[in-house]
Chain A
Amino acid sequence: METNDPKLAAFRVGDLQRRKGARDAAASPKAGELLRSYSFLEKLLESDEAAVEQFQGLCQSTCRSLDASLRHQEDPRLAAMGQAALAAYGQSLKLFAELLEIKYTRLNEQAGQR
């Protein structure tokens, strides 16, 4: 086949994964289902509140260190790396807060059914 082969015209990223997924289920994945393959997040969500708070505190401590290092950073590349790292923590902690909310909503629903 040549470059730009028309046989590839319909190919899009994820086609292989979609083909496999179609065999299993038609519904789009939900966060709870995806967590089956996210061992650390799953373990963290199953931990008690004290352990969760301890881990969140660890992340916040790292963020404070990153922030402090940025204040004195004169190298623009290192400053950009530090900002990127802080953004990663921000997005990850935000996602985790959403997951925690889902967990507690479900727990409340289960408690209400009893």
Chain B
Amino acid sequence: MSNETKKLSVKPSQDELHFLLESGYLCRDLGRHQEAADIFQGAAALLPDDPLPVAALGGVLLASGQADAAVGCLEKGLADFPGDPFLKAHLAEALLCRKELPRAEELFHQALAADPQGPAGQMARPYLEMIKELKAR
């Protein structure tokens, strides 16, 4: 996020960061979306130079049915971390839920091109296949 001059003085250990992020993902997967959102917001505050918590927060907002809030969160994330492929893939997913197919597809392609073997590419690939199938119908 754009916290270059805004950083907490308290620095958690790597173990604590793993603990927080895995707890957030577990809450998300258990459908405890508000708790997951709280955790990822806190992780974003503790990791102001890392786009991962913002992408995760966007994913939770989307999973809880708040597509507009997810798009807003991820658009802001992309403004703070321009070109980040993981954020692009998450934003594309949110746009797909809003049925904004052309931009979603473009962002998935960008995410895949920038990170073909990484998490962004892994996320984008099945969506692109699905979009291809939809177009072929």
Contacts and interface: CB of A to CB of B under 8 A. Distances in A.
The A interface is mostly helix, strand or loop, or mixed, namely helix
B19 to A, nearest CB: 6
Given A69-B9, A86-B42, A88-B46, A3 B22 contact: no
B43 interface: yes
Contacts of B38: 84, 87-88, 90-91
Contact of B100 (A3, A44, A58, A77): A3
Interface residues of B, number: 49
A16 B94 CA distance: 13
Interface string A74-114: 01011011101111111110111000000000000000000
Interface string B12-25: 11011011101111
A40 B126 CA distance: 28
B18 A78 contact: no
A44 B135 CA distance: 46
Nearest to A20: B126
Given A5-B99, A8-B96, A84-B44, A34 B26 contact: yes
Given A12-B97, A55-B15, 17 more contacts: A7-B137, A8-B99, A31-B30, A34-B29, A38-B22, A41-B22, A62-B13, A62-B16, A66-B8, A66-B10, A82-B10, A82-B45, A85-B8, A85-B45, A91-B39, A95-B23, A95-B26
Interface of B: 3, 6, 8-10, 12-13, 15-16, 18-20, 22-27, 29-30, 35, 38-46, 48, 59, 62-63, 67, 93-94, 96-97, 99-102, 126-127, 130, 134-135, 137
